[in-house]
Every structure is written in C-alpha cells, then in structure tokens.
Amino acid sequence: MTKRGCLIVISGPSGAGKTSICKALLAQLPDTVWSVSVTTRPPRPGEVDGHSYRFVSRSEFEEKERAGEFLESAEYVGHRYGTPRGPVEQALREGKNVVLEIDVQGGMQVARKMPQSVRIFVLPPSAESLRARLEGRKTEAAEQLAKRLAEADGEIAMARDSGCYTYFVVNDILDATVEQVKRIVEQERTKS
C-alpha cells in the first residue's frame, strides 16, 4: 500500500512571504503538489486561471460550497477563497505531499478535519518589513493594501490563540526559512 502523503498548511499575513516559501517547497521536496484554490478575487495582472487560482463568480463559489466541494473555505478582505477537497484527497492517497497556502480561518478548519496535517505559520521579521514587502510587490491598490495590513495583527493573534499551528517561523532570509520548513516536513513525515 502507498504511504499517504503529508498535507502541509502554510499560513501567515499577506506579505510574509508564504508564496515564495511554497514555490521553493514545490521545487525542492519530491512528490509535492500545489492545491489550486478557488477564489472570487479578481485575477492580478499575469495570473492565469487554473494556475495559482481558479477564478469564479460569487454565485459559482456558493454553488460549489453548497455541493460540499470544499475541504475548507473563508472570506478574506471581501473575497471568498476555498480549497477543493477532491484533488487534495486524491494526491494524498497517491502518496504525494500537498501544499495549501491558506488563511487562519482555513487553517483552523483543516486542523479539525485533518489533524494529521502539518500546520506552519509564517511571521514577518517586523511590522515595517511587512508593509515594505506589500508595498514593494505592487500587486494591490492602496485601499486593498491598507485592508491587508489592518488584517495582519488580527491574523497573527488568531493563529496564536487558536492553538492550530504547531510551528511559527520568522521569514527573514528566504533560503533559511525554506530549509527550516523542509526540516519540519521531513520530521513530520517520519512520524506518520
């Protein structure tokens, strides 16, 4: 029988560097796949439907939700996000690791439904660095950027209070953080 893969949850405030960490994990960990989330957020320039996200209308999202298609779902600064359940379960059965880059509300749902998952929260080295990274990547209009920054403290507090995250890593130097996260995953895989 194939050994089940490891479900890896990466959360953290917008601008903490989650996406860079996830990309490195996918490139460096064998048999590791990305879970394509469904969202009602409009695509950013360069985002291709079906790659980082599947972009849908709110009514399509709600239909999928009613049909029980999501492993978890949440609302984040005015948009819905959800993880399709089927592809995650199939990949795990095939022995692949699956990376979910999701917010704390989603992390809490996954902790309940799949307690054997590895849940890691990424922190920025400081509040100033978070602002600088978010401003520097120029993906958000001023109003969205302000909302995301306002959200950050609450997300960090919720992550700590929820007790759902076993690991908190400070993403100062990306390569070092990736090594740390890889060690955590390898250690957790040997446990299961």
CB of 43 or CB of 192, closer to ligand 5GP = 43
124 binds ligand 5GP (CB under 6 A): no
Q: Applying CB under 6 A, which part among 59-67, 70-78, 126-134, 165-173 lies near ligand 5GP?
A: 70-78
Is there a contact between 103 and 76 (Cβ–Cβ < 8 Å)? yes
82 binds ligand 5GP (CB under 6 A): yes
d(CA 167, CA 186): 14
Is there a contact between 2 and 95 (Cβ–Cβ < 8 Å)? yes
Residue from 54, 65, 105, 133 touching ligand 5GP (CB under 6 A): that is: 105
Annotate each residue in 34-53 with x if it binds ligand 5GP (CB under 6 A) or - if it does not, as one string: ---x---x------------
d(CA 144, CA 157): 21
CB of 5 or CB of 12, closer to ligand 5GP = 12
Residue from 6, 8, 97, 103 touching ligand 5GP (CB under 6 A): that is: 103
76 binds ligand 5GP (CB under 6 A): yes
14 binds ligand 5GP (CB under 6 A): yes
Is there a contact between 41 and 79 (Cβ–Cβ < 8 Å)? yes
The encoded tokens of residue 130 equal 């978070």
Write the CB contacts of 192 (distance below 8 Å, at least 6 apart in sequence).
Answer: 3, 4, 6, 116
Q: Applying CB under 6 A, which part among 54-62, 102-110, 165-173, 175-183 lies near ligand 5GP?
A: 102-110
d(CA 13, CA 29): 24
Dihedral sign of CA atoms 93, 99, 102, 106 in order: positive
Give the interface with ligand 5GP as residue ranges (CB under 6 A): 14, 18, 37, 41, 72, 74, 76, 81-83, 101-103, 105-106
